[in-house]
Structure 1
Amino acid sequence: MTTQRIALIILFVLALSLGAGWASWTYLFSEDIDKARTAALEHVRALHDEQLKAELRAQISSLYSLKRRAQTLPGESYRTEYIDDQTTILQQQPDLQELTRAWLEGTVFDSYPGRNDTIRMLTSNTPFSLRYNSELQFPYSLEWHSITLDNGQVLEALDSSARPDGIWLHKWTTFNRLDLKYPQDQDDRPAPVTMNGKAEVVIPRSIRLFHFSKSEVGTTQQDGNLSVKLLSVGDNHAEVELINRHPPAANTPEWALTPMSVHAQDHTNRYLATLGSLKADQAEMRLYERQLRAAMKQSTYQESFFNEQHAERLAFKRMQRKYRHKIYFRGGVENITVIALDLSDITLHLQDLMAPVYQLESRVKDLEFRAYPAPTVIHDESLPAYLSDYDISEEEQRQRISFYQEAESSRNAVIRFDNGAPFNWRVAGRTNNQVNFYSRSESGAREPIEGVSQHAFSINIYDQNIRYYLPNFSNRQRPAYASGTMPLVRPEVKRFEYAADALPENLELKDNALLIQLHDYPEQRWRFYARDSNGKYLLQMFEASHTGDDSKPLYKALYFYGQPASIDAYFLAEVHRLNYDFDIELREPEHPCYASDHIMMAGCL
């Protein structure tokens, strides 16, 4: 059956179902999902063909898990949880071909002890997950199939059902986790050297970012072939529709036909972790329901029948130009970012991989240098713009200052400040500044809270925050607003550039690593970056602090993806105080603990 004919059948049946409804198998569409699923499985149990029963159970499980998710997600409880900005990787390397090469060739494995000395745990780290916990934002398939040991032996990865004699490689269900297992009685334990794998990456024609605030519900943004509409925003969810003027390219693999991801920020501007998602629209659900109804009428397994169903589902997805996602987050949604892929033209990138295996330790309790050679050269395209602001003016810094408030617990809340200057310098200091707190009257007016104790709040210049303690406030005068002057760091920074063969004393290059003696270059005052022979900034791969017997860090090693030809050093020469006036509305924790004469509040229990 041709794809065109299948597509016409889909459209015809969907239209027919809208008008006529379903004549039988009503339990498939019952609102009582558990009852419907149970009835469907009872029908399956009465069948005799085991292969048919397995296929029907898979379809029932898939359909009803979608229905169950649609019912349960809106009421699912959560605690606020944050993740890193997933657009960072696109800022560091906007060229998608180069980004793919860097991501694949820059992957290394970390080897560390397991629960006993017969196991080495192996975890993959990409160039962007090592420092930013950010991953590739377009479709890929990745399999690590074997490992090479230092004695030349190659072991195939096996699942948990296999338990061979001798050394073996256990493959977990997650693609980035494996275990190397040695026999208990084997003294000679060859070490892992390289992990071998294969990758298939779908590089889209382009990637576009669309940004919305929650007040922009109903608006549409367009860029090239893509347009995105913000359909709705709830307390912890957002619904988005993506339309591509063209269907996916014909060579797009079946597993790669999801062209967008939706991310959200709360009032702190930090990105929220995902609670769950609904990605099957009404037409797709009707297709699954119709296919299950047809499959339930079968008495024996017919391979051609189920192959045709699979082809029908695939044709449906390949016809799609409109996609609707409803995403639930672990926090209150304020802003939405959509990472949209134009799959109308793709490059299918296939590559065999050989990732080095290292024992990565960020804190080393000896002074011996450890070599971690760079598997490839990777540049950080975001650094030039970031470093150009090292001598930012006071006026520019003031314009970039941001702050937000969050409840840490039922008793504590904090107002955090970003001083707007690069490098996140931290400098200790003292202040006698006051913080003014206000309650909200029944009419909504601000009323000053008098007699606030000095113990009710603390100003931390080093961490650039103000922490306040709810039990120091009365239940009758709850803090709803705060204002005052926050002393922020106003840095005066000097820049130095050193050639690789003319480094000052106590700075040393060893292959791709810069060794920094911390006595002469304390971390609180210095930042270092490396450039290659073409003058391009190298992405930092890893860093390790080496400590002496007293556990005090003595030197730090910065490892780069490539050979440094020059080092840029930034020195915090002077620190000035920047007094910043702020005014902020405060949010209460869910169960606050305030002082009360007679009532023990829920948050105080």
Structure 2
Amino acid sequence: MDARSLLACLGLCVALLMGSGCSPSDEQKQTSLEERTAKFEQSLDAIQDPRLKEAVADLGGSLLLLERARVKLSTKPIETEYSENRLALFKHYPTPQALVDTYINGLFVLRKASNSDYLTDLQPVFPFSFNLPDPFPFPIGLEWQSVTLSNNKVIPFQPEWSETDPGIQLSPTSSNLTNPDDLTVSYPFIEGIETDNKSQPQPVTLKGQIEVIAPRKVFTFDLSKKDVGHKRTEENITVTLLALEKNYAEIELTNSAPLAADVGDEPPNPLLVQARDTTGQFLSRSGSINENATQLAFYEKQLAAMQKQKTWSDTFEKRLEDEQDAFEHQQSHYTKLYFNGLIDNVQVSVLDFSQATTTRKDLELPIRRFDKSSLEKTVQSLPMPVTVHDDQLATWLKDATLSREQLKNSVSISQSVEDASAARIEFDHPFTFNDDLLGNTRNSNRAPVTFFTSDDEGKRGEPIELPDEAFEVDPVRGTITYDLNLFPDNPAFAVGSIPLFLATIEQGTLNAGQLPKGLELQGNALVVDQQLFPSDSWRFFAKDASGDYLKEILAVSHRGEEYGPVLFDVHYFYGQPTLLETYQRNDLSTVEYGFEVKLDKPEAAPATQP
């Protein structure tokens, strides 16, 4: 019942940042909110009618949740964190329908490697990878129906695994929350009887149905501080940047055309917003609030009307629903988006669902097996009818020319003194393409470190004479571990150097039609001879005729025997490569990172009572 489930109507999309600190004024806001929450819960106790109590609890609880999120988001410290360009894929497809067709036709199913004799996991692989809060931008419905086994037996899909079902089952993989579409074929387990999974009929084909609704068009607006308060209109779409502050933007959208009937009762989010800082990089989102002051006032008015009732009635429910329908019909779409970093400009994409195209397709997908390590001597084909580009590769590959100073400047130092016998100093830096090509031969015996006391002014004092077992340096991992119990004096500073490793990388290009010995294209698969182009020092990236990088689907290493050396690698791509970029590490140098670290003091142990 809509009037009793207004949490969905509020459309909350918030990140409750429980770990952020609070200033005194923030603490006052929090105290006030807690008082209001306690008062609200007391008022619920006085409501006798269960239907009325549930409706008041739903709406009142939603409003309090929204207020709590608003306080958390507004008081979160601004710390820069970058994200991928989630909207880059729009530029590769001329229409939203072309994007939908690629999404559906690029789907295939992998059988995942398993050590279990009773479970076989199936992984549907989509050509685009999306993570919350940015799932696939169009409404999508996916239903799995059955799996056909090698003995032609059909196992129907069931929403959860049954402990009492004695047969073979197909159900969602409950242990994998990051890939909710993953499935598991479960074979019966009989206590005391060894059952070899290989003797069981194996999954061959997965059947299902997919439905995707595509908007008629996607509009994109690039907005900055100068656009605040000004309407930007294209066709039936009007976007207004209401505010652009340090770490948030407020945006209002109006579509003069009505929503298409295909979309249904729950309209999808038409606003996709990204923010950049002055470096041009995209900032990650920290949360959003999708209700403006007018909307909140309306829901608070409805809550007040509920609280005046003694009982719930169908007539009262109908009145609330009519008021809500009339109000929402007049409303524009509003969002207040918070980002992790200082905003310079925002990119707003609007999905126009005033017209929509619904694509439904019955799926009958062969189940393929591509283990990361294979003993097969032949290359397995993975034909792919779609082309997908990788817009993140250019950013990733820029670190092929990483300089010594850039490497040094990227280092961050952290400490841990919770365990006095294993206190740690860690030198870390973001993992880059340069790190990926360092290989396995890194080593350095030079990592001097000296511990010092502090003088009366808190500055560096005398060096501390220590036995060898008092500390240990791991140059490759960039860690220093020391045992405070073996220190004759309390250390206050650590001074020394730690090695960083930098690859010298040579870049080249190869025409797909003129590849040297050791490289071969078989359709969309690149075969790399590991004797001539070992993966320890070589990387290959493919481009198609458009000049854009192709997304790699997966890679397989082929060996002559189990645990033996790799003979050749195979890289599969979404699309047909016409050009290969090659990257070869031809040298490895050590960069000495000098440091002086003021050491954290361990917390004093609580005094024991006599």
TM-score (norm. length: structure 2): 0.65
User: Which residue does the alignment assign to 1:36?
Assistant: 40
| Cα shift at 1:258 | 6.6
Distance 1:114 1:228, change over 3 A: farther
Distance 1:520 1:489, change over 3 A: same
User: Which residue does the alignment assign to 1:493?
Assistant: 506
User: Which residue does the alignment assign to 1:366?
Assistant: 375
CA distance in 1, matches of 2:292, 2:459: 46
User: Which residue does the alignment assign to 1:242?
Assistant: 250
**3-state DSSP of counterpart to 1:57:** helix
Unaligned residue ranges in structure 1 (runs of 5+) = 1-28, 48-52, 77-81, 213-218, 233-237, 328-332
Residue 376 (structure 1) aligned with residue 386 (structure 2): yes
Structure 2 residue corresponding to 1:519, chosen from 514, 528, 531: 531
User: Which residue does the alignment assign to 2:58?
Assistant: 61
Unaligned residue ranges in structure 2 (runs of 5+) = 1-32, 74-78, 190-198, 233-238, 418-422
CA distance in 2, matches of 1:74, 1:180: 42
User: Which residue does the alignment assign to 2:140?
Assistant: 141
What does the per-residue CA deviation read over 1:94-149, in whole Å, with 9 as the maximum and x for residues that have no partner? 4464655544443433444789766544444333439x999557453333353564
What does the per-residue CA deviation read over 1:360-409, in whole Å, with 9 as the maximum and x for residues that have no partner? 5553352354443324221234546765885x496xx7457641425374
User: Which residue does the alignment assign to 2:569?
Assistant: 556
Distance 1:388 1:120, change over 3 A: closer
| 1:46 partner letter | D
CA distance in 1, matches of 2:57, 2:302: 10
User: Which residue does the alignment assign to 1:200?
Assistant: 213
Residue 177 (structure 1) aligned with residue 181 (structure 2): yes
| 2:305 partner letter | A
**3-state DSSP of counterpart to 1:557:** strand
Distance 1:512 1:416, change over 3 A: same
CA distance in 2, matches of 1:441, 1:263: 48
User: Which residue does the alignment assign to 2:412?
Assistant: 405
| 1:308 partner letter | D
CA distance in 1, matches of 2:214, 2:454: 55
Residue 568 (structure 1) aligned with residue 581 (structure 2): yes
**3-state DSSP of counterpart to 2:141:** strand
Report if aligned partners of 2:460, 2:492 keep a CA contact under 8 Å in 1.
no
Residue 46 (structure 1) aligned with residue 56 (structure 2): no
**3-state DSSP of counterpart to 1:549:** coil
Distance 1:208 1:358, change over 3 A: farther
**3-state DSSP of counterpart to 1:292:** helix
Report if aligned partners of 2:504, 2:585 keep a CA contact under 8 Å in 1.
yes
| Cα shift at 1:446 | 6.2
**3-state DSSP of counterpart to 1:191:** strand
Report which stretch shifted further, 150-159 or 93-102.
150-159
Structure 2 residue corresponding to 1:343, chosen from 350, 353, 356: 350
Report if aligned partners of 2:402, 2:434 keep a CA contact under 8 Å in 1.
no
**3-state DSSP of counterpart to 1:519:** coil
**3-state DSSP of counterpart to 2:350:** strand
CA distance in 2, matches of 1:437, 1:222: 60
What does the per-residue CA deviation read over 1:434-466, in whole Å, with 9 as the maximum and x for residues that have no partner? 5688999998x8647745979757463x56xx3
Distance 1:202 1:399, change over 3 A: farther
- 1:408-423 equivalences in 2 (<5 Å): 409-410=416-417, 411-417=423-429
CA distance in 1, matches of 2:433, 2:187: 54
**3-state DSSP of counterpart to 2:143:** strand
| Cα shift at 1:310 | 4.1
Report if aligned partners of 1:150, 1:190 keep a CA contact under 8 Å in 2.
yes
| 1:568 partner letter | E
- 1:231-380 equivalences in 2 (<5 Å): 240-244=248-252, 246=254, 250-251=258-259, 254-257=266-269, 259=271, 279-295=290-306, 297=309, 299-302=312-315, 304-312=318-326, 314-315=328-329, 318-320=331-333, 322-325=334-337, 341-343=348-350, 345=352, 348=356, 350-353=358-361, 354=363, 356=365, 358-359=367-368, 361-368=370-377, 369-380=379-390
CA distance in 2, matches of 1:270, 1:471: 42
| 1:378 partner letter | V
**3-state DSSP of counterpart to 1:40:** helix
Distance 1:544 1:441, change over 3 A: farther
Report if aligned partners of 1:111, 1:120 keep a CA contact under 8 Å in 2.
yes
CA distance in 2, matches of 1:229, 1:482: 48
| Cα shift at 1:553 | 4.1
Aligned Cα root-mean-square deviation (Å): 5.5
User: Which residue does the alignment assign to 2:420?
Assistant: none
| Cα shift at 1:505 | 3.7
Distance 1:106 1:417, change over 3 A: same
| 2:142 partner letter | E
CA distance in 1, matches of 2:480, 2:312: 69
TM-score (norm. length: structure 1): 0.65
User: Which residue does the alignment assign to 2:109?
Assistant: 109
| 1:363 partner letter | K
| Cα shift at 1:560 | 0.6
What does the per-residue CA deviation read over 1:487-519, in whole Å, with 9 as the maximum and x for residues that have no partner? 54151414251535x544443434322232333
What does the per-residue CA deviation read over 1:242-281, in whole Å, with 9 as the maximum and x for residues that have no partner? 224745864386442473568999xxx998896x765545
| Cα shift at 1:197 | 0.9
CA distance in 2, matches of 1:114, 1:543: 18
| 1:57 partner letter | E
| Cα shift at 1:528 | 1.1
Distance 1:521 1:192, change over 3 A: same
Report if aligned partners of 2:437, 2:538 keep a CA contact under 8 Å in 1.
no
| Cα shift at 1:430 | 1.9
**3-state DSSP of counterpart to 2:35:** coil
CA distance in 2, matches of 1:170, 1:299: 40
| Cα shift at 1:555 | 3.2
- 1:468-547 equivalences in 2 (<5 Å): 468-469=480-481, 471=483, 478-479=492-493, 487-500=500-513, 502-532=514-544, 536-547=548-559
